Amino acid sequence: MTELNWLSIKEAHDQLTSRQISSVELTQACLDRIDAVEDRVQSFLTLTPEIALAQAKEADRMLAAGEGGPLTGVPVQIKDVMCTKGVTTTCASRMLENFVPVYDATVVERLTTQGAVMLGKGNMDEFAMGSSCENSAFHPTHNPWDLDRVPGGSSGGAAASVASGEAIYALGSDTGGSVRQPAAFCGVVGLKPTYGLVSRYGLIAFASSLDQIGPVGRSVADCATVLNAIAGHDPRDATSVAREPQDYTANLGQNIKGMRLGVPEEYFVDGMEPGIRKAIDDALATLEGLGASVRPVSLPTTRYALACYYIIAPSECSANLARYDGVKYGYSYQGTTDMWEAMEKTREYGFGPEVTRRVMLGTYALSTGYYDAYYLKAQQARTLIRQDFERVFQDVDALVTPTSPVTAFKIGAMVDDPVQMYLTDVCTLPVNIAGLPGLSVPCGFSDGLPVGMQLIGPHFSEETLLRTAHAYESATQWSQARAAL
Amino acid sequence: MPLERSQVEHIAALARIGLTEEEILMFGEQLSHILEQFEVLEELDTTGVAPTGHAGGLQTVMREDVPQDSLDSEDVLKNAPNREGEFFRVNAVLEE
């Protein structure tokens, strides 16, 4: 019998509703797993076992009364960038080390209403800025496949907790690849929904035009189930889109015969690991075998995406993070009575180096004399990148690319070279720039480390991406592989 | 073109972030390297291209103005580093 902490959401739900297991038992199995491996993986910033067990009891009551839904009683890790009422929410920053939100993010509220069980808050790069989880002000997270390697980032805790069997699923956030890249590095599934599909209310802002919350799970079906729970219009987020609710699990079993898939050559960058290329080529052959047609396409503006992103995201970050002034909440330097000195010291001591780097970069790009050359130019490039995607989506239903040009790298390998670190997200950034949905699904191994395949579709094509990924996943064994811990 | 020291200091002042001597040097070098990566945009012809602010396509969203409770003042002040009664306490803004 599968140990309870390794159950899929569907299996857990079936066993919970048939009363074969209780949510308390399931939750305890996850807590036991955390006890056994967390000192090595370190995917959590805060553990909330008391809350989890209390929620599990409540879930058991709901289930006994025939209430609840597919996530009732199922344990989840929440990335520490989402506000949780009464539970410290740090964004992995000294700035928010003692910050206790007084309200829940909409996604948290939705899960809680359904009877979800929160195990704790997931580690991440500080303010979601990074690709390795090494920018966490508190501790790094270790990749379950090789503890000397990074889990990816910024949602490294989310991916590592799911891959190590600590949590059944997790919520991450993705501004330039922060759900998909760690999912690829840890051999799990990660989905970045279309911009506007999931409410950002209570998501601590990094770059507001790019940020989106998404699920991390051990299967495509699990991610679809979570998306069902978190998607939907929210009046508290003016950028959330009013659409008819959709059941993303409904068509998962359908075949993908006739699906038109495009492969943008620009995503197979120089320096890509040969094992990644091979894994993607094999995956394309599998998809063709399932009845999809595969054709090369071109997205010539891809080469501008990195520059475009690293102007827009830091610009928005510099504006968003202006709120950390030591007055209303967060760290506050008390060693002076001078207002400006207090603010400068608050931000000097409160922010880590990557956050400072991006705030400064954005401040520069928005400053007098440079605005047109950087920020405006990047916004125009953004239009061209978006149009490039719109053009290819007239001919194909979805794109297939590697999720990252590299597999999980050694902890410490890139910390002194920000540009090299930024390049690990070169395949995922364009998706956020254009506001598209993107999904990473495991597609093999390169030198023993997981490789992720990314599917990209037009706005609100989550159903297509999930169905395609599910068909691929069902035809292969990659998602069943587990790290030996 | 590498950033000059005075530019790094100017940016830090605009961003209200204090920097140590070491950080001024490190960020000067790193930001210059990052800015070099941006030069690729110069080859892109953006004449007449409208800027995209966000990719969602939504215009200004309106809603009915319905009175509702905001956060309780105790909640608002809960995370205050310094408070006095019902107020956030701050350093003097105006000079005497």
- The answer as to whether A403 is a domain residue is no
- Among A415, A364, A134, A475, which residue's Cα sits nearest to residue B8? A364
Helix axes A220-230, A106-113, angle to 10 degrees: 100
Q: What is the pLDDT of residues A412-424, one digit of tens each?
A: 999 888 888 898 9
Out of A93, A178, A199, A461, the active site residue is A178
Q: Tell me which DSSP letter residue B41 carries.
A: G
Look up the CATH number of the domain holding residue A187: 3.90.1300.10
Q: What is the pLDDT of residues A45-96, one digit of tens each?
A: 999 999 999 999 999 999 999 999 999 999 999 999 999 999 999 999 999 9
Residue B7 C-alpha, separation from nearest chain A C-alpha, in angstroms:
9
B15 contacts in chain A (CB < 8 Å)? 318, 347, 359-360, 363
Of the candidates B33, B49, B92, which has its C-beta nearest A383's C-beta? B49
Q: Is A410 helix (H, G, I), strand (E, B) or coil?
A: strand
A367 is catalytic: no
- The answer as to whether A53 is a domain residue is yes
Q: Is A210 helix (H, G, I), strand (E, B) or coil?
A: coil
d(CA A410, CA A430): 25
Query: Which residue of chain A is at minimal alpha-carbon distance from B95?
Result: A338
- The answer as to whether A448 is a domain residue is no
Helix axes A49-64, A9-17, angle to 10 degrees: 50
- The answer as to whether A69 is a domain residue is yes
Residue range A262-282: mean pLDDT, rounded: 94
Give the pLDDT band of residue A175 (cuts 50, 70, 90). very high
Interface probe, candidates A325, A331, A380, chain B, greatest B C-beta count within 10 A: A380
- The answer as to whether A343 is a domain residue is no
Q: What is the pLDDT of residues B10-39, one digit of tens each?
A: 999 999 999 999 999 999 999 999 999 999
- The answer as to whether A267 is a domain residue is no
Beta strand A117-122 with A75-79: parallel, antiparallel or unpaired?
parallel
Domain count of the fold of chain A? 1
Tokens at residue A366, please?
Answer: 């928005």
Residues 54-93 in B contacting A (C-alpha not used; CB under 8 Å): 54-58, 61, 63, 71, 75-76, 78-82, 88, 90-93
- Domain residues for the domain of A170 are 4-258
Query: Which residue of chain A is at minimal alpha-carbon distance from B51?
Result: A380
Residue A302 near residue A430, CB atoms below 8 Å: yes
Whole-complex ipTM? 0.95
- The answer as to whether A274 is a domain residue is no
d(CA A56, CA A75): 8
d(CA A105, CA A24): 25
pLDDT at residue number B63: 84
A178 is catalytic: yes
d(CA B34, CA A420): 10
Cβ-defined contact of A100 to B37 (cutoff 8 Å):
no
A382 contacts in chain B (CB < 8 Å)? 51-52, 55
**Residue A299 belongs to what H/E stretch?**
none
Q: What is the pLDDT of residues A187-213, one digit of tens each?
A: 999 999 999 999 999 999 999 999 999
Q: Report whether CATH 1.10.390 matches the domain B5-43.
A: no
Q: Where do the domains of chain B lie? A: 5-43
Task: Work out the angle at residue A247's Cα, subtended by the Cα atoms of residues A242 and A250, and round it to the nearest 5 degrees.
Answer: 155
Interface probe, candidates A343, A361, A367, A393, chain B, greatest B C-beta count within 10 A: A361
